[in-house]
Structure 1
């Protein structure tokens, strides 16, 4: 279940960062990681496996752009949050990380750019 929490935390933060701009500059990822129920709900939402809350819908709407641009429109702080969460997802659950990427980048058009962002933060 820890991998679910990390995965969902990342999804939530990705969506918050892109959909809400500066509102989530100080987003507390640790608080989300600690709540398995919330993380699972966000995961199910963005993966079309369950209902979405208002925030879940915003995350789901922002996720494709966030992944396809490797957080290109994110601020430095937002990039750090997104990068940390994606690396956490990948570390905790490579299959779920790949499932997320396959859903939102099925043609693998942005994988190199996204992996570069994960390695360098740029």
Structure 2
């Protein structure tokens, strides 16, 4: 359940090519497997717990990442983001939707985001 949080944070970090190139080699699988870290990141981005420096950065870029379906991401970052979002969804569908609703409450780009998750484009 917590693994999806770490996935989400990795996605956010991975999507901002200008500011987060250091995450190009991010190991999404290791985060998805660590329930404790995933939950901590989830609580951070959902304003339910404290944030680390990385957590604050994730939280900052998450709205754009979700509402644009990772439009500014490099191809490598898109792979990581997609993997993380799909991992989060697999770990906890309710938390996945809670996250989407928080950062895209109007569902402006939800269809494009789901298309991105299916196709990777």
- Do these two structures clear the TM 0.5 threshold for a shared fold by scoring above it? yes
The list of structure 1 runs, each at least 4 consecutive aligned residues, that deviate by more than 6 angstroms after superposition, is: none
**What's the TM-score, normalizing by structure 1?**
0.90
Aligned residues: 119
Do residues 17 (structure 1) and 18 (structure 2) align? no
Between 1:29-38 and 1:61-70, the stretch displaced more is: 29-38
Q: Which runs of 5+ in 1 are unaligned?
A: none
Looking at structure 2, the residues matched to 104 and 37 of structure 1 have their Cα atoms a distance apart, in angstroms, of 22
Looking at structure 2, the residues matched to 81 and 98 of structure 1 have their Cα atoms a distance apart, in angstroms, of 19
**What's the TM-score, normalizing by structure 2?**
0.91
Q: Which residue of 1 aligns with 2:2?
A: 4
Superposition CA RMSD, Å: 1.3
8 Å CA contact 1:14–1:62 kept in 2: the answer is no
Q: Which runs of 5+ in 2 are unaligned?
A: none
Greater helix proportion? 1
